[in-house]
């Protein structure tokens, strides 16, 4: 199986399955001399960890990250950094009855069509459990980006039909971590939580949208033509489980307007070029322009629901299936650190690539 690595100069490979003994990541290309903060890595993993509320999967995992190589006395050596996260609460027996069943909207059939074999224990490699390794590696990338004064803030802007209509400039995006649904606006957060609780009682699930705002990215990151910054970000974000759409700046709304309404104009302030508006979301021509990078990420509703659905087994026999096990009625709040991690991995890579672009 290929496709387990991302990045060019800051390159990350993840490994492991949902109900195997462990998962992990290897970071190759992290610059030497970076202080590796295990507390920050643990904090990021804790944000993704299940079992934190009645609105999340009850699976209990400690998600303690062990650094096996590449770090000496708390500082990166410039050699590969190997990260290990043990699966301490795997229950493969929960999935034995699904060995020959194709769950609706899961990767069971498609993995089998591709490889002729699949791990039926929670989806194996296709499970969102794999994203814990991404979060750990992404935390290292964020530590690197902090040395460049780049800050990444993701928050939930929509759950089902409930939408946050407050501009991000009027929010304290850091408070998203204080909300059970990851929304930095308390009144809207409560409505979102109530909506998830209602749908959970109906044995169903919800999707939503995460807005990611990156501040401090200088002008000049990104490589046309095929390595445009938004193209690499788009690929990284779309690799996250349940993501079905990503847009930048005005996104699809730009298709409704006119050039005179959408174009971002420039001004010179204190000798620095400034984009007066930011309909482009901080990227033009595939290269960052120095304004806030704004990205919206759409998640579909969780596929694993306890409501009865029709499907088939390997032999084509019809089956009425109600999926048991430990699943989220809405995965969007727990996806915040995953979106931040994948964004950080791409930006760390482009930060290093920018250093090679000219004398």
The tens-digit pLDDT sequence of the chain (359 residues) is: 789 999 999 999 999 998 899 999 999 999 999 999 999 999 999 999 876 666 766 656 779 999 999 999 999 999 999 999 999 876 667 778 889 999 999 999 999 999 999 988 878 899 999 999 999 999 999 999 999 999 999 999 999 999 999 999 999 999 999 999 999 999 999 999 999 999 999 999 999 999 999 999 999 999 999 999 999 999 999 999 999 999 999 999 999 999 999 999 999 999 999 999 999 999 999 999 999 999 999 999 999 898 999 999 999 999 999 887 667 899 999 999 999 999 999 999 999 999 999 88
Measured CA to CA, the distance from residue 341 to residue 132 in angstroms comes to 10
Q: Which of 47, 243, 14 is nearest to 125 (CA)?
A: 14
CA atoms within 13 A on the CB side of 104: 17
Helix axes 38-48, 131-146, angle to 10 degrees: 140
Measured CA to CA, the distance from residue 242 to residue 155 in angstroms comes to 17
H or E stretch at 352: helix 336-354
Read off the DSSP letter of residue 254.
G
In this predicted structure, what is the pLDDT of residue 94? 73
* Domain 5-354 in this protein, CATH class: alpha beta
Residue 269: how many CB atoms within 10 A of its CB? 8
């Amino acid at each position: 199986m290929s496709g387990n690595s991302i990045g060019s100069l800051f390159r990350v490979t993840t490994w492991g399955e949902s109900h195997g003994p462990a998962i992990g990541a290897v970071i190759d290309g992290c610059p030497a001399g970076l202080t590796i903060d295990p507390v920050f890595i643990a904090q990021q993993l804790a944000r993704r960890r299940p079992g934190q509320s009645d609105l999340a999967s009850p699976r209990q995992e400690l998600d303690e990250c062990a650094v096996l190589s590449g770090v000496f006395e708390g500082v990166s050596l410039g050699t590969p950094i190997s990260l290990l996260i043990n699966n301490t609460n795997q229950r493969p027996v929960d999935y034995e009855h699904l060995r020959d069943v194709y769950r609706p909207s899961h990767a069971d059939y498609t993995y089998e069509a591709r490889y002729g074999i699949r791990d039926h224990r929670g989806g194996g490699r296709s499970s969102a459990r794999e994203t814990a390794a991404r979060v750990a590696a992404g935390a290292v990338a964020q530590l690197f980006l902090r040395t460049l004064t780049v800050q990444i803030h993701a928050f939930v802007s929509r759950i089902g039909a409930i939408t946050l209509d407050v501009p991000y400039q009027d929010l304290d995006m850091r408070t998203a971590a204080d909300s059970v649904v990851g929304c930095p606006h308390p009144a809207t957060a409560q409505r979102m939580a109530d909506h998830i609780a209602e749908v959970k009682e109906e044995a169903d699930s919800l999707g939503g949208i995460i807005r990611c705002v990156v501040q401090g990215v200088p002008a000049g990151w990104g490589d046309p033509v095929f390595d445009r910054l938004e193209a690499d970000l788009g690929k990284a974000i779309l690799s996250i489980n349940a993501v079905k759409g990503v847009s930048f700046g005005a996104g699809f709304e730009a298709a409704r307007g006119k050039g005179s309404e959408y174009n971002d104009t420039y001004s010179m302030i204190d000798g620095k070029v400034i984009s007066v508006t930011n309909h482009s979301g901080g990227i033009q021509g595939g290269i960052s322009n120095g304004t806030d990078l704004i990205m919206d990420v759409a998640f579909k509703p969780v596929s694993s629901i306890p409501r009865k659905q029709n499907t088939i087994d390997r032999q084509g026999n019809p089956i009425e299936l109600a999926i048991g096990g430990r699943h989220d009625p809405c995965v969007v709040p727990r996806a915040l650190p995953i979106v931040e991690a994948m964004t950080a991995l791409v930006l760390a890579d482009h930060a290093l690539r920018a250093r090679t672009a000219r004398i």
